[in-house]
Amino acid sequence: MALEKVFEDPLWSEIYYGRAYDTGERLSVTSAQTFRDALASQNGRVPTVLSLSNVQLGVNAVARLAGAVEKERDAEETAGGAKRQFRRVDLSGNMIGDFGIHAVRALLAKLRGVKSLNLANNGLGEDGARELGEELQTNRDLEALQLGEREKGLKANAIGNRGLEHLTEGLRETYTLQSLSLCHNNITEAGGEMISRLLRQTPSIAVLDLTGNQLNSDGVIAFLPYASQLRVLDLSSTGIYGPAIEKALCYLLRETRALANLSLAKNQIEAKPMRRIAKCVAECATLEVLSMEGTKIEASGVAALCGHLAVPEGVAGVAGVSPEPQSAATPTQPHCALTSLDLSDLAITDRSTLCTLAAALPHSALTTLKLNRNAIADAGCREIAMALDLSQHLGTPLRVLEMSSCRLTEVGVLHLLVCVQDNPTFRVLRLADNFLSANCEAELLEAVNQNEHLQELRLTGCRISHSCLGRIAKVCQRNVRKAAAEEPARLKVEINRLSQQQEKLRELEAEIASEEQHITASELRRFELETQQKRLQGGETAKCNQLEKTVDAELKSLATQRSVLKQQKEMLATATTAYDEQLTALKKEVQKEEERLSGLQQKAKAAEATFDKRKQDHPNEMASSRERLKDIEQQDADFQERATEYRQDLRQRQEAEGARA
């Protein structure tokens, strides 16, 4: 009973008893109080969050928690009281293991409606992944599943490719999961195909973290063509190689319409591929956060990326200035939308590269810039400081600057603080682990005191005294309070402006409602007229159809008559040609007969002359000559008769030809 009084919430006491059984720890008031304080530090702020991270929970603790939740729910249903709802459950950093996943499944079934589950660093393997896959087949509430964290723990999960296969199978018919973290889970190159299948069959996934899995270039290339649905993609420490991944990555950046956060940190990207990737990054209108930490892109790669940071004039406001409105007819050109850029640990020492970066800052949309672990020294710091100085430029939207472990001295830091002194946008400066001297504390405090906008200045590990760090923290807190005090006034002005806009909106809505009524009446009248017109058009259509049929019949008849007329004309032309040929032949024959008749007449005359001469000369031959003359006359008569017949025949043919014409 004494132990139960330590815990105000009965759930915590059940967890404590189960934890003691798992760890073998002796029950005591002191250990119970320590455990209670550990849970209180994680819970209580948000009633929908159940956080049990790093408290050495095992299978018994989770099972007892599930039983306690069921009892509490039954009691609430009986009493009719308000039910406690947990939407996010964090069990990371415990010792649940594969054997304890069945208890986790029971807990999810009792809690009902859990949206987010964190099981990172629990020593899960293939068997645990199989259990989770079975749970995902029926769970329609879970939206986020975390099986790993960016920093690898001592009890990191290792589900491997087989475990990933079980998860993929479990998510085959699930369309609710939106976030999946598989950091440091021993997934290799062969797992790329399973991730590809996972993305194809689960289009709801928008966040995918694969940090610390040795997928290599081929494994990542296998699923990048299907990653256009992702909003966040983390490929840190996955063993990818820039020249091999370049084409697939550029394809993703060109095709995506959702990707906002991309991390390629701690991979060997190199400078040459980075020059091509930088162009695609600049043209990706959705990409806002890019991490290139430790990617060995060298100075030329950084310069290429910085060269594409500029935002066209009028696209984005700078230093709080609103952009100029663009015409709707003017097509928007692709521009770099990056607001956060991590260039840490890239061995940036070249001053020309820093000059390029500094020149790009006033024209970019960057609000966060990380340059940690680059030996830029005071000279490089001076270039960055000049870009933040309002006396040198119109301003920059940069709010957060990190330059930890950059070999800065008090000279560079003080110059930077002076340059950002009047910059109302700049809020956070992190300069941990640099080479500041304790002798500069007075100047440092003076520079910080004069800055009314700086809300965080981190100088840990810079050989600055704790008292100085405390005074700097107080100044930053003063600025935070001032900004918080100014915020209500600004919000009040904004509320007044919005109230006026809302009043105008109401008037416009009333006008729109009136216009909509008028439009509705007009549409009703138009509908009636259209109905009447259709009715009239129905009768006219029948008549038109009948007339069209009659016209078609007449046209067909006319076409037939034209065909017959054409045939008759062709026959007439053929007959005329034959008649002309026959007439020509007859004329030639008549001419021959006339010539023959003329010859006979001449012969007759010659015969008469001969006869007369013979009559005179030979009277005895008179009788015979007369007989011969008679014969000749008879032949002449025959010829005359035939000529007459030919003339009559010719006349008849001419008359027939005239009749045909």
The pLDDT tens digits of the residues spanning 121-132 come to 999 999 999 999
Query: What is the reported pLDDT for 534?
Result: 80
Residue 50: which H helix or E strand, with range? strand 49-51
Give, in order, the Cα–Cα distances in Å from 364 to each of 307, 428, 478, 482, 609. Answer: 10, 18, 30, 28, 140
- DSSP helix, strand, coil percent of the chain (3-state; round to 5): 60, 5, 35
Query: What is the reported pLDDT for 307?
Result: 87
Query: What is the reported pLDDT for 619?
Result: 65
Query: What is the reported pLDDT for 311?
Result: 62
* Domain membership flag for residue 594: no
Quote the percentage of the chain above a pLDDT of 90.
Answer: 50
More confident residue, 330 or 100: 100
pLDDT at 315 over 60: no
Query: What is the reported pLDDT for 334?
Result: 52
Give the residue among 234, 294, 304, 233 at the shortest CA–CA distance from 274.
304
* Domain membership flag for residue 655: no
User: Residue 507 has which token pair?
Assistant: 């008037």
Instruction: Over range 204-230, report the average pLDDT.
Output: 95
Query: What is the reported pLDDT for 320?
Result: 41
Residue 548's pLDDT band (boundaries 50, 70, 90)? confident
d(CA 293, CA 369): 12
Rounded to 5 degrees, what are φ and ψ at 254? -80, -35
Of 85-99, 221-235, 575-589, least confident by mean pLDDT is 575-589
User: Residue 298 has which token pair?
Assistant: 């060298």
Q: 291: helix, coil or strand?
A: strand
- The domain boundary, picked from 98, 118, 138, lies at 118
Tell me the pLDDT tens digit for each residue of 247-256. 999 999 999 9
* Domain membership flag for residue 457: yes
* Domain membership flag for residue 312: no
pLDDT at 326 over 50: no
User: Residue 2 has which token pair?
Assistant: 């004494």
375 and 345 Cβ atoms separated by less than 8 Å: no
Give the residue among 71, 69, 132 at the shortest CA–CA distance from 96.
132
Query: What is the reported pLDDT for 603?
Result: 86
Instruction: Over range 202-214, report the average pLDDT.
Output: 95
More confident residue, 455 or 492: 455
d(CA 192, CA 396): 41
445 Cβ contact partners less than 8 Å away, ≥ 6 residues apart: 468, 471, 472, 475
415 and 449 Cβ atoms separated by less than 8 Å: no
User: What's the CATH number where 402 sits?
Assistant: 3.80.10.10
The mean pLDDT value of the chain amounts to 88
- The domain boundary, picked from 467, 483, 508, lies at 508
Instruction: Over range 555-562, report the average pLDDT.
Output: 88
User: Residue 124 has which token pair?
Assistant: 């899960």
More confident residue, 304 or 620: 304
Rounded to 5 degrees, what are φ and ψ at 202? -125, 80
Instruction: Over range 207-224, report the average pLDDT.
Output: 96
d(CA 203, CA 200): 6
pLDDT at 417 over 80: yes
pLDDT at 470 over 80: yes
Query: What is the reported pLDDT for 312?
Result: 55
Query: What is the reported pLDDT for 330?
Result: 42
User: Residue 367 has which token pair?
Assistant: 């609000």
What is the pTM (predicted TM-score) of this model?
0.72
Instruction: Over range 272-280, report the average pLDDT.
Output: 93
Query: What is the reported pLDDT for 183?
Result: 96
Query: What is the reported pLDDT for 45?
Result: 75
Q: Which residues form the domain of 109?
A: 1-118
- Please work out, in degrees rounded to the nearest 5, the angle formed at the alpha carbon of residue 411 by the alpha carbons of 406 and 417: 85
d(CA 131, CA 97): 11
pLDDT at 306 over 60: yes
More confident residue, 256 or 7: 256
Tell me the pLDDT tens digit for each residue of 601-624. 888 888 888 877 766 776 666 677
Residue 144's pLDDT band (boundaries 50, 70, 90)? very high
β-partners of residue 145 are 117, 180
Tell me the pLDDT tens digit for each residue of 160-190. 999 999 999 998 877 889 999 999 999 999 9
Query: What is the reported pLDDT for 633?
Result: 86
* Domain membership flag for residue 214: no
Query: What is the reported pLDDT for 554?
Result: 87
* Domain membership flag for residue 159: no
- Our count of domains for the chain comes to 2
* Domain membership flag for residue 368: yes
Tell me the pLDDT tens digit for each residue of 58-107. 999 999 999 999 988 888 777 765 667 899 999 999 999 999 999 999 99
- The domain boundary, picked from 446, 478, 508, lies at 508
* Domain membership flag for residue 230: no
